[in-house]
Structure 1
Amino acid sequence: MNESIALMLFSCATVLVAGYVRGYGGFGFSMITVAALSLFCAPAQVVPVVLLLEVAASLFLLPGIWRLVAWPLLRWLLTGVAVGTPVGVWMLGNVSPAPMKIAVAVIIFTLALMLRQGFEVNRRLKRPGTMAAGLVSGVLNGAAAIGGPPAILFFFSSPVGAAVSRASLVAFFLVTDILAGGFCVAAGLMTVGHARQAAILAIPMAAGLFLGKLAFIRTPETVFKKRVLLYLMMLSLLTLVRSAKPFLT
């Protein structure tokens, strides 16, 4: 099979799975897609496409959950994101792929492990802590389209509840991905070619989003969460091993 065809089939399958996860839990699309596609492509090739797909996914999901979004928390979180995103976009254009892949893998694994082990914050985070989480999210979102981990940890370790967390994350990703995409365009890192790739991958993503929305109603949250986090941990370990191999030889 031609390598380009095999890569496209792998990309479609990855986006389908990631779309399902995003449709159900409100998060995970970038983490899954970037981790998988970065096995074969440089982050600068993957990230712009993922940003475009993330915006489309949020627009698909947000109308039905708008009233559940925790807007007061989002305001301060997004303030931090606005500061951190330009730094992340600079890193995308100037940091070599291997170290960035290693950083992505470590972040994903650590987050997944903490959530799987039941990490919780039993008190409401104050404004500085919320802005700090947003700052880290902005840097990671601009650099590798994985701004979700700090925000996911922030919401799912707080007492606001699963439905509010899911809705707030959908709104969060819409704003952060539009912001990061704008910086990518300004930096010359997003091209018409990226838009074409995103348009093709939007088809399997839409199917995944639809199935994920149905599963959100039917599947116990704890079962889904443990399965997704385990998958993310395994995928991040694979990325870490492949990316660290050149430094070990």
Structure 2
Amino acid sequence: MPDGLVAALVMPGIGWLVAAALAAGVVYGFAGFGAALIFMPVAARVATPEVAVAAFSVSAVGSAITMLPKTWPACDKRATGLMIAAAAVTMPLGVMLLTRLPEVPLRWAICIIVAITLAAVVSGWKLRLSDAAGPRLGIGAAAGVVGGSTGLLGPVVILVTLAGGGQAARMRANLATFLTTVTLVLLPALWWQGVLPPPVLWAGLILLPIYMAGTLIGQRLFQPGAERLYRGIAYAVVAGAVVLGLPV
């Protein structure tokens, strides 16, 4: 058995990471977002932010198989593509911050970002964007920095997408396509800056099939016409993750 796999199996808190990955997968398969919002606050209680971000990023590769083939045809390809391109450029800066900032402030940052995102969306705040490329590129760039430094690639994009309204199925497709694709782009940035040592890579591979199973379950639960249920369940689960992840 490889030494990295052995180290991953005895990693403190691996059981919590497994449970968080399953819950994150179910929410992601259902809502098209929220996986990192669920996983990162919980994982930050039992692992360093670097380990949590890297392990989750590896496990989230499964979404390219379980989600992307279904969400890509239904998404707004121009708007989503612009945000993906901008996020790819700025993510290395975010990863650099991840490797240099102290652990506790990062844990607080994770919870605060999630809480602000949730509060803004639940309050009914609305945002209308023009079709120009500039706003989409700015949103993607901000998401890249925040995601690279905290593992939360989604809050900026989630806030804008949900605040903009629209049908649940279309919002779900846009968010899932963006988040799945930028997670794949994040992996090389993590590896390049030394955040993917063998034990962490193996931990992510352990979580991968569990996360994939969760997304398949979540997809079966999604009902395109159940707008109120769609939002309510996602909000409730994310709020619970914030409470669990508070570094107190």
- Aligned identity (percent) is 21
Aligned to 2:169: 163
Aligned to 2:72: 66
Aligned to 2:143: 137
- Judging changes above 3 Å, is the alpha-carbon distance between structure 1 residues 6 and 187 closer, same or farther for their aligned structure 2 residues? closer
Aligned to 1:246: none
TM-score under structure 2 length normalisation: 0.88
Which of 161, 165, 187 pairs up with 2:193? 187
More displaced stretch, 133-142 vs 224-233: 224-233
1:1-249 map, 5 Å: 4=10, 7-124=13-130, 126-217=132-223, 220-242=226-248
Q: CA deviation at 1:162?
A: 1.8
2:105 aligned partner, one-letter code? P
Q: Can you give the 5+ residue segments of structure 1 that lack an aligned partner in the other structure?
A: 243-249
In structure 2, how many angstroms separate the alpha carbons of the residues matched to 1:19 and 1:62?
14
Q: CA deviation at 1:73?
A: 0.3
Aligned to 2:6: none
Q: Can you give the 5+ residue segments of structure 2 that lack an aligned partner in the other structure?
A: 1-8
In structure 2, how many angstroms separate the alpha carbons of the residues matched to 1:136 and 1:212?
28
The answer (yes or no) to whether the contact 2:45–2:247 under 8 Å persists in 1 is no
RMSD, aligned CA = 2.2
- Judging changes above 3 Å, is the alpha-carbon distance between structure 1 residues 205 and 111 closer, same or farther for their aligned structure 2 residues? same
In structure 1, how many angstroms separate the alpha carbons of the residues matched to 2:130 and 2:166?
10
In structure 1, how many angstroms separate the alpha carbons of the residues matched to 2:168 and 2:134?
24
In structure 2, how many angstroms separate the alpha carbons of the residues matched to 1:90 and 1:226?
35
The answer (yes or no) to whether the contact 1:18–1:208 under 8 Å persists in 2 is yes
Total equivalences in the alignment: 240
TM-score under structure 1 length normalisation: 0.88
